[in-house]
């Protein structure tokens, strides 16, 4: 993940945004965090809305696609370069209004850019 690419998929993925990723499971470096509820591209800021189920008290989280390190279309799984705790500690996503709020999206970008870099698994 590069600082400038937090809202873009890594070039090696081609164009995953053309695939319907809703329903794919999302795997952090230390376990499953939930499944993709939907993918969005608000003003060029591509991200996934991940339903965490009961893991984070039933809330959804917004994950910029720049943290995606793997997409397995066969097993319908997305791998991200974050831990479960890092995703849980991200700025709170409450409603779809946040996806349209430039300040909220900027705070999410700052948060994920500030995480320690990791090598893909």
Per residue in 60-115, pLDDT (tens digit) is 899 999 999 999 989 999 999 999 999 989 988 877 766 668 888 889 999 999 99
Q: Which residue has the tokens 């993709």?
A: 36
Residue at 90 is within a domain: yes
> Domain of 32: which CATH number?
2.30.30.240
Residue 121 lies in a domain: no
pLDDT for 101: 81
Asked if the structure places residue 1 within a domain, the reply is no
Whether residue 6 contacts residue 109, with contact meaning beta carbons closer than 8 Å, is answered with: yes
**Residues 98, 112: Cα–Cα separation, whole Å:** 16
Please, which pLDDT band fits residue 1 given cuts at 50, 70 and 90?
very low
Spatial distance between the Cα atoms of 14 and 62, rounded to a whole number of angstroms: 22
pTM of the complete model: 0.84
27/43 Cα distance (integer angstroms): 26
Range of the domain at 24: 11-113
**118 falls within a domain:** no
Q: Is the pLDDT score of 121 beyond 60?
A: no
- 84 found inside a domain: yes
pLDDT score of 95:
74
Q: What pLDDT score does 41 carry?
A: 81
Q: What is the pLDDT of residue 99?
A: 64
Residue 90 DSSP one-character state: S
Q: Rounded to whole angstroms, how far apart are CA atoms 51 and 117?
A: 24
Tens digit of each residue's pLDDT (9 = 90 or more) over 22-36: 999 999 999 999 999
DSSP code at position 96? T
| Residue 52 included in any domain | yes
4 part of a folded domain: no
Total structural domains within the chain: 1
Asked if residue 5 is part of any domain, the answer here is: no
């Amino acid at each position: 993940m590069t600082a400038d690419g937090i809202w873009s998929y890594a070039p090696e993925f081609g164009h995953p945004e053309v695939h319907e990723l809703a329903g794919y499971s999302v795997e952090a470096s230390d376990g499953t965090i939930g499944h993709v509820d939907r993918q969005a591209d608000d003003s060029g800021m591509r991200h996934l809305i991940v339903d965490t189920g009961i893991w984070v008290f039933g809330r959804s989280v917004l994950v910029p696609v720049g943290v995606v390190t793997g997409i397995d279309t066969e097993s319908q799984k997305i791998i991200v370069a974050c831990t479960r705790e890092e995703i849980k500690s991200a700025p709170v996503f409450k409603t779809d209004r946040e996806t349209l709020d430039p300040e909220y999206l900027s705070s999410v970008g700052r948060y994920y850019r500030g995480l320690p870099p990791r090598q893909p698994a």
